[in-house]
Amino acid sequence: MLIPVLTLVASLAAVLYSFYIIVSTHILRHRMKREYGTLPPKKLPQKDPIFGTDVVLQNLAAAKKFGFLALLKKRHAEQGQTFTTNTYLRTTINTCDPKLIQTVLSNQFEDFGMGPLRRKSASPLLGRGIFTTDNEIWAHQRALIRPSFIRAQVTDFSIFETHVDQLIQLIARENYTVDLQQLFFRMVLDSNSEYLFGESVGLMSDHASDSAHTFHHALDYAQQGTILRLRLGNLMFAHRDAKFRDSCGIVHAYADKFVKQALEFREREKIYPTEKKDGYARTKYVFLNELAKDTDNPIMLRDQIVNMLLAARDTTAGLLAFAFFLLARDLKVWNKLRADVLEHYTEPLTYDAVMQMTYLRYVLQETLRLFPPIATNSRMANKDCVIPVGGGPDGRSPMFVAKNNVVTYSTFVMHRRPELFGPNAEEFIPERWETLRPGWEYLPFNGGPRVCPGQKFALTESSYTIARLLHAFSGIENLDPTDWREQLTLSLTLNNGVKVRLHPEA
């Protein structure tokens, strides 16, 4: 008799405590809203305002037709800079307001993080890497990675030379008619794996191994599965794809091979330091070897290297693909850019020479404006907080953000706002960068403490590659009459590729 009574008392106590938490939280939030004078943001009209099934289905249908970004842009045009949606019993704040984005990414950085849902969605592929972690773990990982992108490393063109040579040769073998996006993704995977692992995957080689192709396909499939899990959110349990799990395993096994080598190198260095130039010494810089100096945890090393490889490949290859997509459709810009390249070109091509190619910089900046690598991103509130904008019908009043609410921001939409970039914001005009000096309204590599650590590396490789190609080829023809179709994985690419014919320099 005593046990049922105790059980009843315990259950009642739990109910009362839960009720107390709910009521006290409501009171505290009401006080905070009143103290700061917050106003609720606009709401997207929804048929299902609780689970948001209508919004989720709209998003998935638009993505399937390569039109998610167009849908998002349309919503912002109708609702304004900031509006909310309710999905999976959680409120999402959607914004393209640079001031709100600055608040989340910088001014109130400690109030927002990646959140457990994002970690769970991406963990099968990315583990606990720099793009999924928060707080002390993230800070430690960031500190480990930062020294690897010092100027001496990212301005060394020898890292890229062989791979761009192979690219130019391959274009010639294909009779100068190619899908450049496919080639860029292969080339950048080769160059970045050499920098990160110490050994190139070798996809551009005539004798690319079966394991190289298997790794490449597994990396792509695992990435596609990861973005699907992110879109599903709380419904990710419905994602039961054995090939996705197998692909993640293939990627991890490939990286593990180089982690093992790095740890062995670390042990040899203790006995035979590089300065002695013994048989084990390496003359070139290897990112993974540098990481292994600070930790011998193989899982941590693998997670970091997979995170960095994906980010490095997709950012640079995507930038190159979009640049040539735009250049092939605007021969006036192509000719002006080629004149700039030829004026400053040196043999061999040097970093200083590339830095003098001003119009090349404008072309890259404009490409990144129209097609930022990460078109949409998000942060989750770590606690109840108030941000200075986003509330009210015009989005100019303070706004309350509850713990676990998500702020999703779109650089793609923000970069195309006429109020920020003029009435021709949708057009490719590199010359606008002669006078344009944007702040938080231009975020191709994110901003705040989590700004992309490898942005200089990506811009350097892209600049070198474009300069080499425009030196080698005098003209370009667009072979695809259709407009661009978005391909959203972890980054933004072209579903229809970049199909062109290049004309070799006579």
397-401 and 406-410 strand pairing: unpaired
Which of 19-33, 128-142, 194-208, 436-450 is most confident? 436-450
Predicted confidence band at 1 (pLDDT cuts at 50, 70, 90)? low
Residue span of the structural domain in which 39 resides? 2-504
Average pLDDT over residues 279-305: 83
Instruction: Read off the pTM.
Output: 0.92
Instruction: Count up the domains in the chain and report the number.
Output: 1
Please list, in sequence order, all residues whose beta carbon lies within 8 angstroms of the beta carbon of residue 13, skipping any fewer than 6 positions away: none
Domain CATH number, residue 355: 1.10.630.10
pLDDT, tens only, 95-153: 999 999 999 999 999 999 998 888 999 999 999 999 999 989 899 888 888 777 766 56
CB 179 within 8 A of CB 494: no
pLDDT, tens only, 14-54: 777 677 667 777 788 889 999 999 999 999 999 998 889 99
Average pLDDT over residues 435-459: 95
Tell me what pLDDT residue 479 has: 97
Tell me what pLDDT residue 214 has: 96
Instruction: Tell me the C-alpha to C-alpha distance, in Å, between residue 56 and each of 59, 94, 261, 404, 502.
Output: 5, 14, 44, 19, 42
Whole-angstrom distance, CA of residue 334 vs CA of residue 332: 5
DSSP annotation of 349 reads -
Q: Is the peptide bond before 444 cis (omega within 30 degrees of 0)?
A: no
Tell me what pLDDT residue 278 has: 45
Tell me what pLDDT residue 279 has: 44
Beginning with the edge strand found earlier in the chain, give each strand of the sheet holding 177-179 in spatial order. Answer: 177-179, 499-504, 473-478
pLDDT, tens only, 151-164: 656 788 998 999 99
Predicted confidence band at 489 (pLDDT cuts at 50, 70, 90)? confident
